[in-house]
């Protein structure tokens, strides 16, 4: 068997000023990026239209079309504007006001407005309020219909429009804001492949987005971002409902005890493997490379753990939006992933649930490929589900060559671990389609004469198409 040189773990990068030029996009795609994420916390609609066109043009020039993902902002609670930052002191009493006319208990009590008026209904005395990524911590002392009075536990400098986290508090904000709905409409207009929904708390949040996409007749798939304790409580149901999962470790590490984060990550990956759903590990993976050309040893170990767990994707955020070394970040992901995969990364020993006869057929194909050390598993798919089913079974050594005649499906399969999507046309004769696919693999250098490949395909029998698993020797 010829070493195929394909990396199984996929790379998601977030586009920004550091990567949005045509020249840098070409370099990043050549370096192995698979999915381009657009963060709508910072992007405007005209920018989305421009960068999606640039990504598509760069992929066409490189000869490798990648997927696009829009990450919608979702509901959030923030502080209001301040004329000057407030330097908070330990033990100080401080008010969060939800009504512009609300006054503190005296001039000595400083305060800031909050953009969520129902906060006073959701929060209770004794709850914790975290501000600015958890750097400032408060304890709720009392509340009324206009304000929440707190005690400063961990001081810091409070600036304008800082993000507020409320660990363990159920917030009654809508899953999709008006801004999110407008952003999704632009995503559909641009043909974006994935919508990542922030702060998913329960399956109904996903269903609201799915209904919107159905109404807009969009084939985009939904990535659920888990970012708080409520999502962890509903993790299994969320994974069943979504098309893919993102373990968004930034807010998750604020909302949950930080020592629980590795356990949550492992549980999320195992549950995704059980239900055959792709999973992305995100946030702070190569944070130091925003300003350094080399990762820290701890970051190398962190990325390696995601690869060892057999997550589908690892993701870059600030590293490729505003970082000084975006190309080196993609190259670092590529180097680490290839080395860990070559070491025989064994995953978590999870077997997907196989509820249908077709799923059991796919498992038979993977068992055959594993035992024969096949050079590849060849599948043909119009919607991507056959490739996803085989990828979920995590073949030991055989890449999945997924042939499709649908450009959007080709891009969406970029998210799947171990899947190399290839565009082709399907003929009326299944045998001709199989032969054509194998010839394409030979020309691309993925297989050579004498290799064995396992083919999952239809065959023609008495004027009927039936599912089959075939063993082919490459000539």
Query: Catalytic amino acids?
Result: 37, 78, 225, 283
Whether 199 and 163 have beta carbons less than 8 Å apart is answered as no
Q: Which letter, b or e, does each residue of 99-125 get, where b requires 16 or more Cβ atoms within 10 Å of its Cβ?
A: eeebeeeeeeebbbbbebeebbeebee
Angle, helices 45-62 vs 178-190, to 10°: value is: 30
Strand segments, DSSP code E, in 299-418 are 313-316, 376-380, 400-404
Return d(Cα 211, Cα 473) in angstroms, integer: 46
Pairing outcome for strands 110-113 and 93-97: parallel
Q: Alpha carbon of 72 to those of 43, 141, 290, 312, 447: distances in Å?
A: 10, 34, 23, 21, 40
Cβ atoms of 436 and 427 closer than 8 Å: yes
Token pair for 287? 């944070």
Residue 368, judged by CB atoms within 10 A of its CB (0-12, 13-18, 19+), counts as middle
- 151 has which bridge partners? 93, 139
Q: How far is CA 251 from the centre of its chain?
A: 14
- Of 101, 175, 193, 102, nearest to 143 (Cα)? 102
End-to-end distance of the chain based on CA atoms, in angstroms? Answer: 13
């Amino acid at each position: 068997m010829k070493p195929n040189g394909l990396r199984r773990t996929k790379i998601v990068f977030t586009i920004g000023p550091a990567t949005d030029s045509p020249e840098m996009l070409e370099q990043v795609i050549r370096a192995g990026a698979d999915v381009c994420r657009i963060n709508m916390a910072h992007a405007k609609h005209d920018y989305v239209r421009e960068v999606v066109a640039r990504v598509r043009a760069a992929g066409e020039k490189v000869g490798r079309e990648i997927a696009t993902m829009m990450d919608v902002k979702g509901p959030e609670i923030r502080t209001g504007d301040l004329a000057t930052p407030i330097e908070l002191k330990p033990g100080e009493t401080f008010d969060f006001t939800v009504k512009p006319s609300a006054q503190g208990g005296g001039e000595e009590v400083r305060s800031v407005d909050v953009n969520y008026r129902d906060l006073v209904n959701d929060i209770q005395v004794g709850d914790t309020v975290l501000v600015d990524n958890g750097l400032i911590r408060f304890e709720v002392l009392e509340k009324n219909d206009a304000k929440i009075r707190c005690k400063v536990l961990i001081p810091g400098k409070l600036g304008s429009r800082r993000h507020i986290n409320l660990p363990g508090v159920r917030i009654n904000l809508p899953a999709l804001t008006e801004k999110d709905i407008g952003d999704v409409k632009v995503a559909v207009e641009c043909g974006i492949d994935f919508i990542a929904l922030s702060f998913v708390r329960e399956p109904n949040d996903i269903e609201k987005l799915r209904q919107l996409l159905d109404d807009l007749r969009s084939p985009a798939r939904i990535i659920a971002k888990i970012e708080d304790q409520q999502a962890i409580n509903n993790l299994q149901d969320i994974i069943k409902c979504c098309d893919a999962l993102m373990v968004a470790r930034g807010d998750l590490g604020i909302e949950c005890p930080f020592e629980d984060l590795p356990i949550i990550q492992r549980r999320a990956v195992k549950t995704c493997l059980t239900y055959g759903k792709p999973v992305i590990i995100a946030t702070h993976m190569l944070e130091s490379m925003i300003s350094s050309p080399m990762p820290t040893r701890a970051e190398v170990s962190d990325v390696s753990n995601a690869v060892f767990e057999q997550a589908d994707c690892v993701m870059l955020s600030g590293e490729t939006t505003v970082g000084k070394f975006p190309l080196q970040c993609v190259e670092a992901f590529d180097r680490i992933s290839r080395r860990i995969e070559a070491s025989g990364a064994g995953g978590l020993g999870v077997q997907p649930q196989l509820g249908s006869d077709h799923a059991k057929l796919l498992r038979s194909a993977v068992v055959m490929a594993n035992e024969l050390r096949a050079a590849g598993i060849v599948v043909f798919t119009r919607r991507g589900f056959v490739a996803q089913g085989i990828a979920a079974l995590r073949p030991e050594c055989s890449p999945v060559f997924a042939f499709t005649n649908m450009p959007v499906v080709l891009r969406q399969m970029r998210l799947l671990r171990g899947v190399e999507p290839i565009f082709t046309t399907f003929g009326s004769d299944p045998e001709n389609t199989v032969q054509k696919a194998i010839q394409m693999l030979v020309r691309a250098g993925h297989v050579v004469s004498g290799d064995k490949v396992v083919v999952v395909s239809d065959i023609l029998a008495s004027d009927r198409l039936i599912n089959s698993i075939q063993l082919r020797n490459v000539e």
